Chain A
Amino acid sequence: AQSVTQLGSHVSVSEGALVLLRCNYSSSVPPYLFWYVQYPNQGLQLLLKYTTGATLVKGINGFEAEFKKSETSFHLTKPSAHMSDAAEYFCAVSGRGQGAQKLVFGQGTRLTINP
């Protein structure tokens, strides 16, 4: 079984500052890991994913995340926040093969950008 914990339901940063959204996972099998973003009244958009290989993954809009197996973490970062980054961010984990069908989400982190 898989689970995800996102530390901090609300993160606020200044425009131009570093964005760090924390995600820790629990999985009994090698996981697939994802970050999704949701803007108000919209669906979820995939930011990036980790499946295998390189542990530092780059996504859209300047975001990246690093898979750290020893820390069971998959934190999302962006060097310089932009006003358009304000949204809800969800970390998610799934198993592989048939288990990949079941995506387990964290509770979400609301990112606010201050001008």
Chain B
Amino acid sequence: DTEVTQTPKHLVMGMTNKKSLKCEQHMGHRAMYWYKQKAKKPPELMFVYSYEKLSINESVPSRFSPECPNSSLLNLHLHALQPEDSALYLCASSLGPAGGLAEQYFGPGTRLTVT
């Protein structure tokens, strides 16, 4: 199984809502990532979890709150977002720092629209 799944596929939320994005992988990967991708731009790294611990936070606003409940799951909690946060949110996973190989496997993304 080389698949990273993300739910929901689409999400529309108001600026006062609280919602969560979910990501799951069953490849035994120990590193998981959140990226934000705006239209016609490359993905921008937001967070990295390594062995279920937050290892990289790319100075992301606190209205985005990541959580890694276990080695297979990654959540992104959203609260008080702004319209400019509308984007495609991609989850990825990789073997992890000790795994040697660095390729990341991406999920299909969640298309988020903030109204």
Contact = CB atoms under 8 A, between A and B. Distances in A.
B79 to A, nearest CB: 25
Contacts, number: 60
Contact of A43 (B48, B94, B108): B108
B64 interface: no
Interface size grouping (class) on chain B: 20 to 34
Nearest to A51: B101
A96 B111 CA distance: 31
Interface in B75-115: 90, 92, 94, 97, 101-109, 111
B17 interface: no
A105 B42 contact: yes
Contacts of A44: 43, 90, 92, 106
For the residues of B in contact with A, the DSSP-based class is: strand
Contacts of A90: 42-43
Contact of B97 (A32, A45, A98, A106): A98
Interface string B5-16: 010000000000
A43 B56 CA distance: 21
Interface of A: 32, 34, 36, 41-46, 49, 51, 90, 94, 96-98, 100-103, 105-108
